[in-house]
Amino acid sequence: MNPSGLPYLLLLTHVHFDHVGGVSHFQNKPDVLDICMGSKNKVFSQNIEINSLAAAHHGCSCKHFEVTRWLQEGDLIYMDDNDKTKEKSLEVIFTPGHTPDSVGFCFRFGEKRLFIGDLIYPFTAIHLDCIGSNPADFVSSLNRLNQVVGILKIENLVTDDLPVKGENAASQAPAPPSAAEVRSKEGGPYDEMIFEFTSVLGLNIDTLSNLFDIEKLIELSDFSVENAINLYLTNGDQISALCPPKQKKSAPKSSPPTESPFLQPYTMSNEVQLSCGHVEANLPTSSISELSTLMQAISSKTTLPQHIDGNYGEYSFNNYTLILPINSKWS
């Protein structure tokens, strides 16, 4: 398993028994550098007896262990002691929802990959009915992942296609066209910029057009796709107000569509991948938007649970199933 004999660094995504059950065997071993967990809710993480769910699920105990390094949001875990750069590190991302202490890790070197623990996984139910689960936090974490994915996709862009930066930018970069000039060219820059905008984010143009006016967003961004993407990622909740959609379609009154509009993101040579726990699957980033769509339908009550067990409902959409309280709080 470790033929090179390198020391171990344990990165734990959350306190559930199927993720920490064997950690005690690594405690105080000379070849273990640290046992790491997210610091967002230390009290929750340290209450292993209850919050690991070992007793509740299997009537057994989970051996206690000591966390030797508490991770902060944005911490970098370097993969090479001789090259301590962001590109060769894992960046810590807090992802509460499934549990209050959940964390993910962003890997940039070579392939772009997000390790997301049990935040998202297909084919078997994602549990938002555990001790400490919070559907509102889950939605916030999905939005956070979408933001990170957008940043990673921007990093994947060929720099020659982006606006010139630096001291010589003014002399090298042509002045942006006026709105009239852009509109006067049939199938011209607007179409190209909209295509690049939706392709980089892996989103469906028809879906976005129902949410906001993409052309207006590009105008507000000085006709820079890079600026438009950054404005979308940093002000997502305000985009509809800034750029009202030209046409609005009525919300669905039953379950979400059978096919997600986000199922076929633009494929790049270095597409971002999600690595999840539980079923050990590699997922496309469109999974985030699929679950966001489902959560929006649940919170707005435009979809109903397929099964009800007491106070909990089971909701399914494509390859994903969620179990959460029927009367969940969303703020």
Residues 286 and 264: beta-carbon distance below 8 Å: yes
Instruction: With beta carbons less than 8 A apart as the criterion, state whether 36 and 69 touch.
Output: yes
Asked if 124 and 278 touch (Cβ cutoff 8 Å), the reply is yes
> Would you tell me the crossing angle of helices 225-234 and 189-201 to the nearest 10 degrees?
40
For residues 230-261, one letter each, b for 16 or more C-beta atoms within 10 angstroms of the residue's C-beta and e for the rest, the string is ebbbeeeeebeeebebeeeeeeeeeebeeebb
CA-based angle 96:20:312, to the nearest 5? 50
Say if residues 188 and 140 touch (Cβ distance below 8 Å).
Answer: no
The pLDDT value recorded for residue 174 is 43
Confidence at residue 193, expressed as pLDDT on a 0 to 100 scale = 81
Supply the Cα-derived Rg of the chain in whole angstroms: 22
Structure tokens at 58: 């299997």
pLDDT of residue 18: 92
36 beta partners: 11, 69
Side chain identity, residue 324: L
Q: What is the pLDDT of residue 161?
A: 45
Look at the block and give the residue holding tokens 């199938």. Answer: 187
CA distance 102 to 38: 7
Closest CA relative to residue 63, chosen from 120, 113, 15: 15
pLDDT at 157: 64
Q: Cβ distance 141 to 97 under 8 Å?
A: yes
One-letter amino acid for residue 307 of the chain: H
pLDDT in tens, 266-318: 333 357 889 998 777 789 898 998 999 999 999 999 999 999 999 999 999 88
Does residue 324 contact residue 135 with C-beta atoms inside 8 Å?
yes
Cα separation, 115 vs 90, in Å, equals: 9
Which residues is 307 bridged to in the sheet? 314
Best CA proximity match to 288, nearest among 120, 44, 99, 45: 120
Per-residue pLDDT at 270: 56
E strands along the chain, which residues?
Answer: 8-11, 32-38, 69-71, 76-78, 89-94, 103-107, 113-117, 126-127, 273-276, 282-284, 307-309, 312-317, 320-325
Place of tokens 């994602």: 126
The pLDDT of residue 94 is 98
Predicted model pTM? 0.68
**Spans in the chain with pLDDT lower than 50:** 158-187, 249-269
Q: How many CB atoms lie within 10 A of CB 205?
A: 13
User: Which residues are CB-neighbours of 190 under 8 A, at least 6 positions away?
Assistant: 182, 183, 215, 218
Phi and psi for 78 in degrees, rounded to 5?
Answer: -75, 135
Partners of 126 in the beta sheet? 322
Confirm if 203 and 265 have CB atoms less than 8 A apart: yes
